Structure 1
Amino acid sequence: MNDSSKKITGSQALLDALVAEGVDTIFGYPGGAIMPVYDKLYDYSDRLHHILVRHEQGAIHAAQGYARTTGKPGVVLVTSGPGATNVITGITDAMMDSTPVVVIAGQVAASALGTDAFQETDLIGLTMAITKWNYQIRRPEDVEWAVSRAFYIASTGRPGPVVLDFTKNSQVGLTESAFKICTSIDSYNPEPLFTDAKIDAAVRLIDSAEKPFVVFGQGVILGNAEKELAAFLDKGGIPAGSTLLGLSALPSDNPHFKGMIGMHGNVAPNVKTNECDVLIAVGMRFDDRVTGTVETYARQAKVIHIDIDAAEIGKIIPVEVGIRGNAKKVLEAIVRKMKPASHDQWEASFEEPYRIEYEKVIKPETDPGEGFINMGEVVRTVAEVSGGDATIITDVGQNQMIGARYSKYTRTRSLLTSGGLGTMGFGLPAAIGAKVADPGKQVCLFVGDGGLQMNIQEFGTIMQEHLGVKIVLMNNNWLGNVRQWQEMFFNERYSQTRMLNPDYEAIAGAYGIRSRIVEDRKDLEDAVRDMFSDDEPFLLEVRVIEEEMVMPMVPPGKGIDQIMLNRNEWYENGK
């Protein structure tokens, strides 16, 4: 720390504050309005590793991947104007998916604000609705105050993005260093205390339930409540299903885990949602892709909703008991008071819908035996070769749903995907962030030909940083998910979804990334083993069937138990 009597610039105050907050990595791109910070950053290379991305959207998604892997806020440093506006999509994505990131953007001098100066943009106005907090630093004296609060707000309670708009005069002006870690803010209560009465009410419902069912989401991971969730399920003998972002909170082979819920979720947990008598929702928000038609969702059940964010409780689904609190602490309290129980017959009832899904969907998708390669068999092969130990990143679309459905999870925080916003282009930079965060783990990205091209320039970041990211491109020459909806709901009018693709192998080679193309399934396993044979970057392009559909599917406007198994068959009303 600097002596309080010594004057330092606002830029140095920022970097000292980042070091004090435990930051080791920054994702960014320099420019005019942030240049004083970058000049001072030259002296911090021994303490702060700066990752030079190729586009600011790459910086924010990489920071998300870093944050989701480590649980610590990811840090982004960009310039004003287009540098700042290029991170807007990622900030929104982080807000939707409760990802802690701190974005520091350069801004024109305070004296020039409101004059339409070169590259001036009202970043505070632009990001007010998509951040937990944003603040414009107009004086160097406010730098350390703002940074300490930014990290506290981003990482506590329900995590989320924070933006600091850093005027140029504040970067070059002098101040005294007196940094203090923020531990509380008046009127901000990130983790409220829940009452014994709420716990007792929940326990009474759970103990009396004949068909209890747990739906858990990313709140379990964010609250570090994985062990508590497993203990709760074991003690109560309760089956559970996961939202997309909750995947990996429980290992895939946990005996109580019944699969993913939602539009492309597994049949059994979806239909059993509408048969359970007590539904315990932990760290999830009843997104429309989870519920299907709200009017028919779990109407027979008494609902217990546990969430850190009071705004989510009762917002969409009426609740019998709402408990605002950290999932880890709430589950600990419930487990202490609940009675040991088993619901063997209820859990056994999940087997028949699973059998039907396996015969009609899973086996044909993951082991077709003939014809073109399916995406599902690509994901299954990766899971088998990696032993389920790789960190799986997905982009958005068919690759996302297939990747989530057929990957195997042996440890928490091993699936990173864009959930609430569904951002194509998320995958490649997020994989970069995950690899930087945990270089000892294999990081495998599933991506489509549409999503890869949205941020393909980040091959340059992989090259410069020597990052061993494994990229599995499932190439079907279409915007596959949109094509699927056009086939199903728009009378096969394939408007603007056919892709004329480049030579990905040549592009990868230009960036020093080794690659292989697979068109025949007999070559698939060998190619995957080749990909995982070292820790160098690798692009595996698999030419998959063009007209593939992601099934099962709950179509828009249908209840969660009205499920298409394929183009011609439905699972509905329990059969």
Structure 2
Amino acid sequence: MARALIDALVDHGVHEVFGLPGDFALPFFRHLEQNADRLPLYTLAHEPGVGFAADAAARWHGGPSVACVTYGAGALNMVNPIAGAFSEKSPVVVISGAPGVDEAGRGLLLHHQVRTLDSQLRIYREITCDQAVLDDPHRAPAEIARVLRSCREQSRPVYIEVPRDRVDAPCEPVVPLPPSSWEPAAVNACADEVMARLFEASRPVLLVGVEVRRFGLEGRVAELASRLGMPVATTFMGRGLLAESAAPLVGTYMGLAGRPEVRAVVEESDGLLMLGVLMSDTNFGVSGERVDPRATMVAADRGVRVGFHVYPDVPLDALIDALLERCAGRAAPAEGRVASALPVPPRGLVADAAAIHPRDIAAALNDLFDETEPMPVASDMGDCLFTAMDMVHTPLVAPGYYATMGFGVPAGLGISAASGRRPLVMVGDGAFQMTGWELGTCARNGWAPIVVVFNNASWEMLRTFQPEAGYNDLDVWPFARLAEGLGGRGYAVTTRADLKAALAAARADESRFQLIDIAIPRGAISDTLARFVGAIKGANRPPGTR
């Protein structure tokens, strides 16, 4: 059964497994190790890192990646990362070892058991879109096929539980299921209405979100934007989308928290087509009411809403293909529709003895990318992510909606495994204290990310909401010195001149991970975070107050 499951994972586009073994999972890990030539296994230090790394790899591939752990203490450690993957539509396959079927009938409580033996399954039903317990090898092929199809079609996590005494049971191969059916007439009617609205509009705009990447549609969306001559904005969660295309990008829309010129393009549109956009507070800068629903068309979650018309069960890829067919050979209906290029990000760091502000970090990283080429970026939550909004447009993975801390470092390792490229990791000191220790696995796996730590000895984003709270203070940890013990190289940076020199040295050394510990004065926050906090405070004011 283990071999049937591994074969099915490969057939469904899985490229790697991240894991942490435990006794209930050891029989399955034995099979993973035996198949590492076609499905590499990367073991990390703690289950949250396993979940975050698999999430990032799935985002990179636009297809499933695997997080494999043991029962109870292992899988329950991974609930938060998988909850984030569910929220942000990332197709992670959770595989958990479990007590053997025969063990369950002995009447004894088993170690790692919480309340009942199926407590873990019931918890994971809340944060995955499909589940299977492979306790019957005869049913297993059909259950595996169903669950993996759900993972790909819904782009959300799924859960597979493998009792340890069934791993070596005889099992038939898994036959992949065909895609779920949809009604072509409904897709055609929807595409006709969308095109009619776009060509009637005087200011049509595309706003693209995470589903465009999750389903591998960036190339087709870029072609659609070019054929229609429409400007394209990304959402906060979709930052980095179409970065390697020729689409007419205008920037990232963040409502009141974003740049005014991008807000104007989106909010003044009379034909706003949102493709794969998650309708969340962070995507709209807590100002969703600034977008007129009567002028919008939203395609997400296998459905489309055109104004007040709803088309259920219309897959995003089918809609985009239908739109491409309808605009083939047609010129854009008006000249001059494409807006100006992306806002010019800060560059030209002044390498002097001044203290470092987040905008200096953005400028320094943009200078670095100009000298080499843009790197894929993994960002944690906090001002590091808001600073990334001032960087050149490059592929980015980040928990922009679920907003969990601890994502950045293991996500960078996931990108290393999935892409074979060297990533840049942006992380705050608070988040680094949670999962930064996963860098100790880099040497074993041949990874050499550049890690930039925003160190203000504080949970600074939280401080912006409660400046007087002393519990937001953190101790100063010597991250640069700790890097050496984890097998990397560290740099303690206090001035802009230090920052420039550290980045140059880090770029030149690809033999190990590089950690740049940047001291930032408390209270120094990015302009984007300042706007975001102002928007939230304004939205939460009682009516009639200022």
- Tell me which interval the TM-score lies in, with the shorter structure as reference length: 0.7 to 0.9
Which of 64, 69, 87 aligns to 1:73? It is 64
List aligned pairs for 1:465-544, cutoff 5 A.
465-486=445-466, 492-535=467-510, 536-544=512-520
Which of 162, 165, 183 aligns to 1:166? It is 162
**Structure 1 residues 34 and 300: CA distance shift in structure 2, 3 A:** closer
- Does the 8 Å contact 2:352/2:497 carry over to 1? no
Q: Tell me the secondary structure at the aligned position of residue 200 of structure 1.
A: helix
1:127 matches 2:155: no
Provide the C-alpha distance between the structure 2 equivalents of 1:443 and 1:100, rounded to a whole number of angstroms: 21
1:383 matches 2:377: no
Letter in 2 for 1:140: P
Q: Tell me the secondary structure at the aligned position of residue 154 of structure 2.
A: coil
Instruction: Give the unaligned 5+ runs of structure 1.
Output: 1-9, 487-491, 563-569, 571-575
Letter in 2 for 1:241: A
List aligned pairs for 1:43-82, cutoff 5 A.
43-82=34-73
Letter in 2 for 1:544: I
- Does the 8 Å contact 2:131/2:159 carry over to 1? yes
**Structure 1 residues 113 and 556: CA distance shift in structure 2, 3 A:** farther
Letter in 2 for 1:153: S
Provide the C-alpha distance between the structure 2 equivalents of 1:295 and 1:76, rounded to a whole number of angstroms: 35
List aligned pairs for 1:409-488, cutoff 5 A.
409=393, 414-439=395-420, 441-486=421-466
**Structure 1 residues 163 and 285: CA distance shift in structure 2, 3 A:** same
Letter in 1 for 2:129: K
Provide the C-alpha distance between the structure 2 equivalents of 1:31 and 1:451, rounded to a whole number of angstroms: 26
Provide the C-alpha distance between the structure 1 equivalents of 2:438 and 2:285, rounded to a whole number of angstroms: 36
Partner of 1:402: 387
Letter in 1 for 2:497: K
Provide the C-alpha distance between the structure 2 equivalents of 1:552 and 1:453, rounded to a whole number of angstroms: 27
The number of equivalent residue pairs is 526
1:27 matches 2:18: yes
Which of 546, 552, 558 aligns to 2:531? It is 552
Which of 173, 183, 188 aligns to 1:179? It is 173
Q: CA deviation at 1:189?
A: 4.6
More off after superposition, 501-510 vs 300-309: 300-309
Provide the C-alpha distance between the structure 2 equivalents of 1:540 and 1:200, rounded to a whole number of angstroms: 52
Which of 73, 89, 103 aligns to 2:80? It is 89
Letter in 2 for 1:334: L
Q: CA deviation at 1:366?
A: 7.5
Q: Tell me the secondary structure at the aligned position of residue 279 of structure 1.
A: strand
Q: CA deviation at 1:430?
A: 0.9
Q: CA deviation at 1:171?
A: 2.4
Q: Tell me the secondary structure at the aligned position of residue 452 of structure 2.
A: strand
**Structure 1 residues 47 and 276: CA distance shift in structure 2, 3 A:** closer
**Structure 1 residues 341 and 87: CA distance shift in structure 2, 3 A:** same
- Does the 8 Å contact 2:182/2:314 carry over to 1? no
Deviations 1:274-295 (A, max 9, x none): 3221211111122122335667
Q: Tell me the secondary structure at the aligned position of residue 383 of structure 1.
A: helix
Deviations 1:224-275 (A, max 9, x none): 2223322332333322221123222223895732211125332222244332
| TM-score calculated relative to the size of structure 2 | 0.87
Q: How many percent of aligned residue pairs carry the same amino acid? A: 22
Partner of 1:249: 241
Partner of 2:281: 288
Q: CA deviation at 1:344?
A: 5.9
1:110 matches 2:85: no
**Structure 1 residues 192 and 136: CA distance shift in structure 2, 3 A:** farther
Which of 295, 304, 311 aligns to 2:297? It is 304
**Structure 1 residues 98 and 379: CA distance shift in structure 2, 3 A:** same
Q: CA deviation at 1:334?
A: 2.2
Provide the C-alpha distance between the structure 2 equivalents of 1:142 and 1:461, rounded to a whole number of angstroms: 37
Which of 159, 165, 187 aligns to 1:195? It is 187
Q: CA deviation at 1:222?
A: 2.2
Provide the C-alpha distance between the structure 2 equivalents of 1:73 and 1:329, rounded to a whole number of angstroms: 20
Deviations 1:330-387 (A, max 9, x none): 2342244345336666766x79xx99xx8xxx76998798842122221332233224
Letter in 1 for 2:207: V
| TM-score calculated relative to the size of structure 1 | 0.83
Provide the C-alpha distance between the structure 2 equivalents of 1:41 and 1:462, rounded to a whole number of angstroms: 20
Letter in 2 for 1:209: A
Provide the C-alpha distance between the structure 1 equivalents of 2:349 and 2:398, rounded to a whole number of angstroms: 21
After superposition, the CA RMSD in angstroms is 3.2
- Does the 8 Å contact 1:252/1:408 carry over to 2? no
1:218 matches 2:210: yes
Provide the C-alpha distance between the structure 1 equivalents of 2:521 and 2:216, rounded to a whole number of angstroms: 39
Provide the C-alpha distance between the structure 2 equivalents of 1:416 and 1:149, rounded to a whole number of angstroms: 28
Deviations 1:4-54 (A, max 9, x none): xxxxxx444444544555544221111121122233444334444221110
Provide the C-alpha distance between the structure 2 equivalents of 1:431 and 1:478, rounded to a whole number of angstroms: 23
Partner of 2:331: 340
Provide the C-alpha distance between the structure 2 equivalents of 1:274 and 1:529, rounded to a whole number of angstroms: 41
**Structure 1 residues 309 and 336: CA distance shift in structure 2, 3 A:** closer
Provide the C-alpha distance between the structure 1 equivalents of 2:245 and 2:5, rounded to a whole number of angstroms: 46
Deviations 1:458-497 (A, max 9, x none): 12211322311111111111112111222xxxxx322411
Q: CA deviation at 1:425?
A: 0.5
- Does the 8 Å contact 2:406/2:435 carry over to 1? yes
Letter in 1 for 2:392: K
Q: CA deviation at 1:322?
A: 5.0
- Does the 8 Å contact 1:303/1:320 carry over to 2? no
Letter in 2 for 1:160: R
Provide the C-alpha distance between the structure 1 equivalents of 2:301 and 2:221, rounded to a whole number of angstroms: 15
- Does the 8 Å contact 1:113/1:120 carry over to 2? no
Instruction: Give the unaligned 5+ runs of structure 2.
Output: none
